[in-house]
Structure 1
Amino acid sequence: MADEHLDPALINTSDGPVIIVAAAHQATERSAGPHAHCRGQLFGSVQGLLTIGVDDGVWVVPATHAVWVPPHRVHWARAHGPFHGYAVYVAEPACPGLPAAPCAIRMSGLLREATQRAARWPLGPLDNYAERLAAVILDEIGSLPADPLGLPLPRDTRLLRIADALLADPADSRSLEDWAQWAAISDRSLSRRFVAETGFTFTAWRQRARLMRALELLAEAVPVTHIALDLGYSTPSTFIGLFRRTFGVTPAVYRERLQRRSRDPASDE
């Protein structure tokens, strides 16, 4: 089994096994800055929460999902709190049948079990059994539908500057007009281009950014009241109500489910 200290040279070449699975175990938060490699990568977790980012999107990934990043695509990653996860590195010649753009997928029971089994393989050539299981993993990555779990980023440099500032501080309560003045763009252009480039209104995008940060803080065991106030909500009840309307459960119930899935990932099937 490979671990999180996998030699970078192994994932910067398509020589060797068609897939390499690296396991990661950590007790505290950990991050990897922007980087790229010639293999495609599937990020997933058994316990804990991941945030994965590329130039035009960010995903907060619970144990029920995984994120696919194609070869040579610059990306960054961050694990929140205690974490047990894995990365499946796919040789570039095997990637044409896989998603051409980064995306989140909902883990199937088959893909979850196959990757966990592949994580126990020793590094080196695959035998006939391993080759067949590797083909199953590739088929699952290629056939599972993308899940709209992420936060798309605008392309316009002025809008991206605003988006980056809000991701850095989701509690920033400046109005659309204030942000437009700050970024040297008209109110109308900001509003129109945000929808055109992200699919969300400015207000809806900001709420989604706050809720994604809330998921990260829930995984880090921050109290719900602190999360609400840290993210700029007027009262905890306002935050709890919005969270329930978005995810169908309260923040406390979501955290309990996240912990239960971490203990028994199959419980979500």
Structure 2
Amino acid sequence: MQKIRHTPVAPTRTQRLASGGEIDAHRHDDHQIAYASQGIIAVTTDAGSWVAPATRALWIPAGTVHRHQAHGELDLHLVGLPATINPLGLDEPAVLAVGPLLRELIVAYTRAPDNDGPPRRRLRAVLLDQLTVSREQPLHLPSPTDPLLRELHDILRADPADNRSLDELGQRIGASARTLSRRLREDLGLTYPQWRTQIRLHHALVLLADGTPVTTVAHRCGWSSASTFIDVFRRTFGHTPGARPTT
């Protein structure tokens, strides 16, 4: 059985991780914000996984058992907040939009965590104020609880470019497309195309962080063309996959 570390106070710091590096399973009595100014940060819990590029941050509620993984060379910024401070009232992990101002506030606040003078307290007050208007983003890849969906999930994660229909995949795992569609709605609240797109986008972010060309990413993740992939990516993240977000 995996041992889970308990670190009561969530740290506030900047940390660099090599691509593929991990912070093992642990929990805090505090809330925590995880933000990657470079690379891609993935957070995994029993409920699923969340992936965030530089235009997003991850909200990790107090008590949540989680682990971090780096994709690409990662500059990770961690902000710990007491459990009594919850600007968005979120009690589940979430992905939050990060605009240029919030990005700079997070980076500046995590650079000198031991300096708790008045200027830094003012900086935190502005950071919290910006968090109250940060939008939650639908980038959660939920872990299905239904055994049939878990089997389907494993197939799609192993090969996101698998373009078989739900009916064809259902024949492989012994279930009708109607049954799988119903269970997806009940278990995850998603249609099959929505779920498959989420899986593909998560995989695409990881490939991009590792320096894979955009055309190759589109092919490996199952889009019919690079232009189709770029359009889906832009609508989801607000910028093209080859562009660095404006800061």
The residue type paired with residue 144 of structure 1 is: S
Is the contact made by 2:14 and 2:111 (CA closer than 8 Å) also made in structure 1? no
> Using a 3 Å threshold, how does the CA distance of structure 1 residues 96 and 118 change in structure 2: closer, same or farther?
closer
Q: Return the match for 1:256 from 239, 242, 245.
A: 242
Q: Percent identity?
A: 32
Matching residue of 1:154: 144
Q: TM-score, normalised by structure 2?
A: 0.80
The residue type paired with residue 67 of structure 2 is: W
Written as runs of structure 1 = structure 2, the 5 A alignment for 1:16-27 is 20-27=11-18
Is the contact made by 2:219 and 2:226 (CA closer than 8 Å) also made in structure 1? no
Matching residue of 2:229: 243
- Between 1:50-59 and 1:65-74, the stretch displaced more is 50-59
User: In 1, Cα distance between the equivalents of 2:86 and 2:207?
Assistant: 34
Q: Which runs of 5+ in 1 are unaligned?
A: 1-7
Please give the secondary structure, in 2, of the residue aligned with 1:63. Answer: coil
The residue type paired with residue 104 of structure 2 is: E
1:112-148 deviation per Cα after TM superposition (whole angstroms, max 9, x unaligned): 2222222232437x33333332233233334322122
Q: TM-score, normalised by structure 1?
A: 0.74
> Using a 3 Å threshold, how does the CA distance of structure 1 residues 243 and 112 change in structure 2: closer, same or farther?
same
- Between 1:28-37 and 1:42-51, the stretch displaced more is 28-37
RMSD: 3.0
Structure showing the higher helix proportion among its residues = 1
User: In 2, Cα distance between the equivalents of 1:33 and 1:57?
Assistant: 16
Is the contact made by 1:65 and 1:107 (CA closer than 8 Å) also made in structure 2? yes
Is the contact made by 1:99 and 1:142 (CA closer than 8 Å) also made in structure 2? no
The residue type paired with residue 134 of structure 2 is: L
User: In 1, Cα distance between the equivalents of 2:132 and 2:184?
Assistant: 30
Q: CA deviation at 1:68?
A: 0.4
User: In 2, Cα distance between the equivalents of 1:181 and 1:34?
Assistant: 36
> Using a 3 Å threshold, how does the CA distance of structure 1 residues 51 and 13 change in structure 2: closer, same or farther?
closer
Q: Return the match for 1:123 from 99, 114, 124.
A: 114
Please give the secondary structure, in 2, of the residue aligned with 1:66. Answer: strand
1:27-64 deviation per Cα after TM superposition (whole angstroms, max 9, x unaligned): 43322344322221111111122222333333321111
Matching residue of 2:50: 59
Number of equivalent positions: 240
Q: CA deviation at 1:164?
A: 4.0
Written as runs of structure 1 = structure 2, the 5 A alignment for 1:1-269 is 12-14=7-9, 20-95=11-86, 98-123=89-114, 126-172=116-162, 175-177=165-167, 179-180=169-170, 183=173, 185-231=175-221, 233=222, 238-248=224-234, 254-258=240-244, 261=245, 265-266=246-247
